[in-house]
Amino acid sequence: MRTLSIRAMTAAVLAILTLGCGMPVPDKAEISIANASSALTSGSSDKLFTLTLVKAEKSFALTDLMISAAVPGQTATALNFTLDDKNGNGLLDPGESLECSEPPVNLFDAGTVGKTLTVDFAAKEQGMYVRLASSTWTPAK
């Protein structure tokens, strides 16, 4: 049987209560989103958008990141991404970008074009993913 520490349970309950009450959570970073140049298809692994880390207090290891996108009314989907590592340090630094793509399942296609989706930028903090920034993405084609 797996047990949770009091600290972990408290953090989980506070996170659920905060989200459940609709209380806004301030962003700890700033991101911008730019559409990919290619169109969405009925296949998988489409290039979706470029996420740029505009502002953050620190750099991030890729293994600690999760980028997700959600169509209104649907559960968010974790996306694949690759780093455009301008300085070669293997970290996502402010000013650098992630090329985000669909997972190997078709979740975004022509039916998504023109809809406004929520994009979340999350990183591991004390073993749990915490949303650090949010933006919107409207596929153009």
What percent of the chain is modeled with pLDDT above 90? Answer: 55
**3-class DSSP state of 6:** helix
> Is residue 83 over pLDDT 90?
yes
Bridge partners (DSSP) of residue 82 are 99
What percent of the chain is modeled with pLDDT above 70? Answer: 81
Q: What is the mean pLDDT of residues 6-27?
A: 45
Which residues in 34-46 are b (16+ Cβ under 10 Å) and which e? ebbeeebeeeeeb
> Is residue 124 over pLDDT 80?
yes
Beta pairing class for 65-70 and 77-78:
antiparallel
Contacting residues for 26 by C-beta, under 8 A, at least 6 apart: none
- Between 12 and 55, residue with greater pLDDT: 55
∠ CA 41-53-94, nearest 5°, is: 145
pLDDT band per the 50, 70, 90 thresholds, residue 26? low
Q: What is the mean pLDDT of residues 81-88?
A: 93
φ and ψ at residue 71, rounded to 5 degrees: -75, 140
Q: What is the mean pLDDT of residues 70-87?
A: 90
Average pLDDT for the chain = 82
The 10s digit of each residue's pLDDT in 40-75 is: 989 889 999 999 999 999 999 999 999 999 988 888
> Is residue 38 over pLDDT 70?
yes
Please tell me the distance from the alpha carbon of residue 77 to that of residue 13, in angstroms, as a whole number: 23
Answer yes or no: pTM beyond 0.85.
Answer: no
Handedness of CA 13, 19, 23, 24 (dihedral sign): positive
